[in-house]
């Protein structure tokens, strides 16, 4: 029994593999263990399609918009089940899937189940799967490479938070609304601890356009120097924009997110002098800073948190220190997109996947932030606006294309798709460049103490 607990507790999703092949005998042993899962009336109507051939995987990626990750594992298993009863198909095939994941772990083989397999219709056509089959998921198998071998296990919620005795008790712990005002600090922390850690540490999870990053670099070059406090570093996706010799304290909401920031710094081999802190309102750092920065996070915070971070920054800034916040504001064009998304997909950040990684999202009214800064005694508050046409639209177009191609099953595709519209959009955004505009969609707010 001890071994069983170990096998269960050490299983983790593997997303990068070594080139080593899995021996067929071992593969069959693993799949045989799948057949020991229960099925309704012992029907065992599952099928395991084994795919090793790279050209078939390429077809799945290019035609069915399957997750590009499938090209990186030596073996892909497509798990199907007779669809006479959809509920049974998903339930039984899921049980077999978990047997495969656990058996693989037992034999030292890495695995991951994914549902971002793209358009079910197109997958079926490519693989000759009959109409009467339901695709439950794709399972990738292979020996883990060094990086995934060393990857930490993702945290688990404490079981007592999940148990209900005799009847369901509404605990209201989870929130997926777009509006930051609906999120407590605890909910944000929980989201970042579990949901945001769903993939490997250090992976860039937030989406920015290159021009937005260029803007950050310019702003840093012009205004930031000395010792810097970066608030809510999260996935660290813009840290490479700081000059190499900077001294930066990364402030995050919890250890799990701080680990994320750390790993991103290590993966990108960044050379600044970094240190890390976890936010605690009651334990203020004794350090003082020349600058406090916050990039693309203000639009994700409630008034209360924005106020807390503005207040904290004021306390921590040196006499001539500057606060620099960059965020997407509620310009006409950006708000138009934001409202459309909510009309089409509803008020649940997971439905579009766009912002769900960090937490809530709402384009920020500059007036709101400036009022908060004024109340916190900042002087000389200046706002500069950029990008009348949000360059982020280019990222959104890519997402839309993935959404269309995968028949609504996923949004993110790591390779760029090209067509007439993407080229046109790219030309327009390029022509616009990093131009200031009164009605711009990205704001830079700089305030001094
Ligand atoms: C039904 C299902 C679908 C999943 N789809 C994906 C996916 O599309 N991409 C991905 O990277 N991980 C996917 N995963 C893996 C989860 O992100 C992962 O299981 C979760 O974060 C817990 O981490 P662990 O498996 O390492 O314990 C999926 C897992 C399940 C059960």
Cα 108 from Cα 339, distance rounded (Å): 48
Q: At what angle do helices 392-405 and 420-432 cross, to 10 degrees?
A: 170
Max CA-CA distance within the chain? Answer: 75
Instruction: Summarize the confidence of residues 191-206 as an average pLDDT.
Output: 80
Does residue 418 fall inside a structural domain?
no
Q: What digits encode the pLDDT tens for the residues 343-391?
A: 999 999 988 877 778 899 999 999 999 999 999 999 899 999 999 999 9
Q: Are residues 356 and 263 in the same domain?
A: yes
More confident call, 198 vs 150: 150
Residue 189 maps to a domain: no
β-pairing verdict for 317-328 and 289-295: parallel
Strand 247-252 with 273-278, pairing: parallel
Q: Is 196 in the pocket of ligand 1 (CB under 6 A)?
A: no
| One domain, residues 232 and 308 | yes
Query: Which of 100, 123, 150 delimits the end of a domain?
Result: 150
| End position of a domain, from candidates 150, 175, 202 | 150
Q: Specify the pLDDT at position 382.
A: 97
Average pLDDT over every residue of 249-278 = 93
Which of 39, 117, 53 has the alpha carbon at shortest distance from 84?
39
In the reported structure, the alpha carbon of residue 43 is separated from the centroid of ligand 1 by a whole-number distance in angstroms of 27
Is residue 2 over pLDDT 70? Answer: no
The domain in which residue 305 lies consists of: 210-391+433-448
Q: What is the pLDDT of residue 1?
A: 56
pLDDT at 442 over 80: yes
If you take atom 19 of ligand 1, which residue's CA is the nearest one? 13
Question: Which residue shows structure tokens 């990626």?
Answer: 61
The CB of 135 under 6 Å from ligand 1? The reply is no
Could you tell me the CATH number of the domain that includes residue 280? 3.40.50.150
Interval between CA 199 and ligand 1 midpoint (Å): 8
Domains contained in the chain, number: 2
- In this prediction, residue 381 carries a pLDDT of 97
Query: Are 135 and 222 in the same domain?
Result: no
End residue of a domain, out of 103, 124, 150: 150
Is 146 in the same domain as 218?
Answer: no
419: in domain: no
Q: 43 and 128 in one domain?
A: yes
Residue 276 Cα to ligand 1 middle (Å)? 28
- Residue 216 placed within a domain: yes
> Which pLDDT does position 407 carry in this prediction?
92
What pLDDT shows up at residue 173?
72
Alpha-carbon gap, residue 152 to 170, rounded angstroms: 31
Share of the chain above pLDDT 90, in %: 82
With left for phi above 0 and alpha for psi between -120 and 50, is residue 324 left, alpha or beta? beta
- The pLDDT of residue 183 is 94
Name the token pair of 279: 């936010």
Q: CATH no. for residue 131?
A: 3.40.109.10
Is residue 42 domain-shared with residue 113, that is, in the same domain? Answer: yes
Question: How far is the centre of ligand 1, averaged over its atoms, from the C-alpha of 114 (Å)?
Answer: 6
More confident residue, 345 or 49: 49
HEC states along 111-149? EEEECCCCCHHHHHHHHCCCCCEEEEEEEEEECECHHHH
Atom 11 (ligand 1) nearest CA: 199
**Same domain, yes or no, for 96 and 216?**
no
| Residues 332, 441: Cα–Cα separation, whole Å | 8
Q: How far apart (Å, rounded) are the C-alpha atoms in residues 116 and 64?
A: 10
Helix (H) or strand (E) holding 120: helix 120-127
Query: Atom 13 of ligand 1 has which residue's CA nearest to it?
Result: 114
**Looking at residues 169-185, what average pLDDT do you find?**
88
In a shared domain, residues 113 and 250: no
Ligand 1 pocket, residue 412 CB under 6 Å: no
Find all residues with CB under 8 Å of 389, minimum gap 6, and list them. Answer: 333, 428, 429, 432, 441
Confidence class for position 172, pLDDT limits 50, 70, 90 = low
Residue 305 shares a structural domain with residue 373: yes
Domain-located, residue 399: no
- Per-residue pLDDT band for 198 (boundaries 50, 70, 90) equals low
Q: Are 125 and 267 contained in the same domain? A: no
Q: Is 151 in the pocket of ligand 1 (CB under 6 A)?
A: no
CA pair distance 125, 292, nearest whole angstrom:
54
90 close to 141: Cβ distance less than 8 angstroms:
no
Q: If you average pLDDT over every residue of the chain, what do you get?
A: 93
pLDDT in the model for residue 12: 97
**242 and 369 inside one domain:** yes
- Calculate what percentage of the chain has a pLDDT beyond 70: 99
Encoded tokens for 445:
């707010």
Is the CB of 443 inside a 6 Å radius of any atom of ligand 1? no
- 337: Cβ–Cβ under 8 A, 6 or more apart, which residues? 390, 393, 396
The answer to the question of residue 423 being in a domain is: no
Top mutation candidate among 9, 112, 134, 199 for ligand 1, by most atoms within 8 Å of CB: 112
Name which residue leads in pLDDT, 245 or 118: 118
Residue 286, pLDDT score: 75
Query: Which one, of 424, 417, 317, 438, lies nearest residue 366 by Cα?
Result: 438
Pocket test of ligand 1: the residue of 66, 70, 113, 120 to mutate, having most ligand atoms within 8 Å of its CB, is 113
Reported as a single tens digit per residue, the pLDDT across 422-441 is 999 999 999 999 999 999 99
Please, are residues 360 and 178 in contact by the beta-carbon 8 Å criterion?
yes
pLDDT of residue 284: 74
CA-CA-CA-CA dihedral for 104, 138, 208, 273, to nearest 10: 0
Regarding whether 137 and 220 lie in a shared domain, the answer is no
In a domain, 417, yes or no: no
Task: Inform me whether the pLDDT recorded for 251 exceeds 80.
Answer: yes
* Closest residue CA from atom 5 of ligand 1: 114
> In this structure, is residue 111 part of a structural domain?
yes
Report the C-alpha gap between 313 and 323 in whole angstroms.
Answer: 7
């Amino acid at each position: 029994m001890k071994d069983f607990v170990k096998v269960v507790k050490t299983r983790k999703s593997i997303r990068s593999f070594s080139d080593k092949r899995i021996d067929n005998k071992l593969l069959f042993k693993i799949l045989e263990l799948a057949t020991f899962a229960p099925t309704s009336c012992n029907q065992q109507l599952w099928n395991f399609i084994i795919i090793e051939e790279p050209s078939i995987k390429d077809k799945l990626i290019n035609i069915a918009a399957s997750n590009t990750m499938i090209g990186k594992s030596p073996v892909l298993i497509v798990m199907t089940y007779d669809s006479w009863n959809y509920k049974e198909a998903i339930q039984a095939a899921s049980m077999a899937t978990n047997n495969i994941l656990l058996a693989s772990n037992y034999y030292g083989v890495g695995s991951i189940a994914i549902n971002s397999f793209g358009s079910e219709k197109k997958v079926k056509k490519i693989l000759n799967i009959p109409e009467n089959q339901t695709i439950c998921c794709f399972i990738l198998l292979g020996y883990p490479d060094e990086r995934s071998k060393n990857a930490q296990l993702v945290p688990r919620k404490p079981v007592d938070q999940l148990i209900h005795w005799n009847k369901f008790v509404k605990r209201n712990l989870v929130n997926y609304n777009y509006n930051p005002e609906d999120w407590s600090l605890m909910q944000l922390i929980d989201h970042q601890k579990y949901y945001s850690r769903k993939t490997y540490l250090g992976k860039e999870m937030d989406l920015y356009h290159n021009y937005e990053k260029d803007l950050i670099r310019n702003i840093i070059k012009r205004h930031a120097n000395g010792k810097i406090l970066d608030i809510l570093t999260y996935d660290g996706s813009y840290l490479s924009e700081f000059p190499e010799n900077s001294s930066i304290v990364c402030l995050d909401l919890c250890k799990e997110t701080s680990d994320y920031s750390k790993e991103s710094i290590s993966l990108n081999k960044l050379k600044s002098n970094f240190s890390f802190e976890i936010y605690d309102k009651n334990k203020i750092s004794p350090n003082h800073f020349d600058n406090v920065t916050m990039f693309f996070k203000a639009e994700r915070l409630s008034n209360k948190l924005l106020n807390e971070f503005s207040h904290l920054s004021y306390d921590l800034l040196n006499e001539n220190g500057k606060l620099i916040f960059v965020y997407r504001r509620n310009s006409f064009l950006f708000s138009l997109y934001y409202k459309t998304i909510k009309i089409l997909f509803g008020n649940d950040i997971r439905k579009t996947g766009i912002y769900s990684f960090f937490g809530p999202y709402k384009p920020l009214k500059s007036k709101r932030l400036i009022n908060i800064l004024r109340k916190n005694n900042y002087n000389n508050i200046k706002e500069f606006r950029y990008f009348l046409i949000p360059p982020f639209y280019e990222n959104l177009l890519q997402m839309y294309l993935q959404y269309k191609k995968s028949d609504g099953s996923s949004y993110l595709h790591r390779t760029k798709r090209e067509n007439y519209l993407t080229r046109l959009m790219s030309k327009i955004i390029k022509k616009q460049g990093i131009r200031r505009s009164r009605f711009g969609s990205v704001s830079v707010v700089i305030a001094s103490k």
